[in-house]
Copies of this chain bind each other. A is one copy, B any other.
Amino acid sequence: MSINAKIAELTNKLESTTIERRRDFHRHAEAGWTEFRTASIVADQLTKLGYKVQVGDEVVDSENMMGVPASSELSNQASRAIEQGANPEWVNKMEGGKTGVMGIMEFNKPGPTIALRFDLDANDANEAETNEHRPYSEKFNSINKGAMHACGHDGHTAVGLAVAEIIAELKGELRGTIKFIFQPAEEGVRGAKAMVAKGIVDDVDYLLGMHFGFQLKKTGQIACNVTGFLATSKYDATFTGVPAHAGAAPEVGRNALLAAAAAVLNLHAIPRHSEGTSRINVGTMQAGSGRNVIAPKAVIKLETRGGSSTINKFMSDEAYRIINSAATMHDVKVEITEMGGAAGCSNSPELADDLAKVAEKLGIFNEIVPECDFGASEDCSYFMERVQEKGGQAAYTLIGAGLAAGHHDSCFDFDENALAMAVRFVSTAATDLLLR
């Protein structure tokens, strides 16, 4: 039996397990940097399959973690995860929110190093509790308040585990090395940078990422040439002024709200960039302590984007200068914290072509979408950029799936038929590359 036929068979065999796993992850949704339960299940399973497993400090660089919750929140979540069945040994190693996991398998014959990247985290959202929402009516809706898998990462993780099982089954026939990377905190593009900084993909020849849905809203579609990942940076800026009674002594105050408002207007007025897409958004502001008090504090959350990392850097440099000047202008202090980021990039064209051929060969997809302009940000781009910089190739595949509602919606759900399609496609693509 050919290796592809074996993959087809193994995929079938694993389909119900994959659905179960996806539902289990969905029910125990965990937000970025708190995926203690999900990550420890992954680590246990990879260990069982014979992978060399690395977690915590081994794969996550604490200096480059962005948007990490407060330590009290982290320890609450760790306890919650253990109560919900996480293996305390792994949780211990993931201290400080370092919930990244990598499983490595070297095959007996020399060959390329390939990496498959999946994301683990849920969104900060409360899941809909209506009977129209299948996860609720079929009782796998999230039991963790404020966390919900509304972007399909539960499915990605389940696919990753199935592919890991198939590859382990086929290990006698393969060459080279494979790395399964399970990344925390993709939401807010906070997690990839810290794993890349550990150098874990510096030796990788081919890197594959995947995502359900987005522009591909029908099961049976696939897009192998995804381009136009927007580079992005996410910042929080905290302005600190001096309170004063607004009636009795306004001149004594140092107005943080006014500084933030001045920043907002001028940030949105950053010039357009002639070389491509640019974006700026101040999404939220929380400011002030009382109507009759000169506001002593203001916090804005903002993001910049660019059609390339260069354009994003332009936007980000402008934003820094404007925020700092707005603070000086109103004689208040400001602290800017980087909360997330992603690189601008596109699939390696050659690898994109190869993957399209795999998709075609499999015959399970109705529609192979040609070049797909992503037009959004995903921190898989950090992995891709690093691999491409080091001379390797990288590609991100969108796998179509019928959607119950848009991504990040409290009614989000996807067609689980797409799970097996993804397992089969990724397994086949990976083995093809390993056998080069």
Interface residues of A (CB under 8 A from B): 188, 230, 232, 234, 245-253, 255, 257-258, 260-262, 264-266, 268-269, 271-275, 277-295, 298, 301-303, 305, 314, 321-322, 324-326, 328-331, 339, 375-377
Contact between A250 and B234 (Cβ–Cβ < 8 Å)? Answer: no
Contact between B284 and A291 (Cβ–Cβ < 8 Å)? Answer: yes
A287–B282 Cα gap in the complex (Å)? 10
Contact between A291 and B303 (Cβ–Cβ < 8 Å)? Answer: yes
Contact between B283 and A284 (Cβ–Cβ < 8 Å)? Answer: no
Contact between B258 and A376 (Cβ–Cβ < 8 Å)? Answer: no
- B residues near A285, Cβ cutoff 8 Å: 257, 260-261, 285-288, 295, 298
Question: Number of copies of this chain in the oligomer?
Answer: 4
Among the listed B257, B290, B291, B329, which residue makes an inter-chain contact with A326, where contact means beta carbons less than 8 Å apart? B329
Which residue on B lies nearest to A250, using beta carbons? Answer: B271
Contact between A249 and B274 (Cβ–Cβ < 8 Å)? Answer: yes
Whole-angstrom distance between the Cβ of A289 and the nearest chain B Cβ: 7
Contact between A377 and B247 (Cβ–Cβ < 8 Å)? Answer: yes
Whole-angstrom distance between the Cβ of A202 and the nearest chain B Cβ: 29
Contact between B292 and A284 (Cβ–Cβ < 8 Å)? Answer: no
Q: Which of A246, A274, A281, A322 has the most CB of B within 10 A?
A: A281
- B residues near A282, Cβ cutoff 8 Å: 257-258, 261, 288, 295
Contact between B283 and A247 (Cβ–Cβ < 8 Å)? Answer: no
Among the listed B258, B273, B287, B292, which residue makes an inter-chain contact with A268, where contact means beta carbons less than 8 Å apart? B258
Which residue on B lies nearest to A340, using beta carbons? Answer: B291
- B residues near A330, Cβ cutoff 8 Å: 266
Contact between B272 and A251 (Cβ–Cβ < 8 Å)? Answer: yes
A247–B386 Cα gap in the complex (Å)? 23
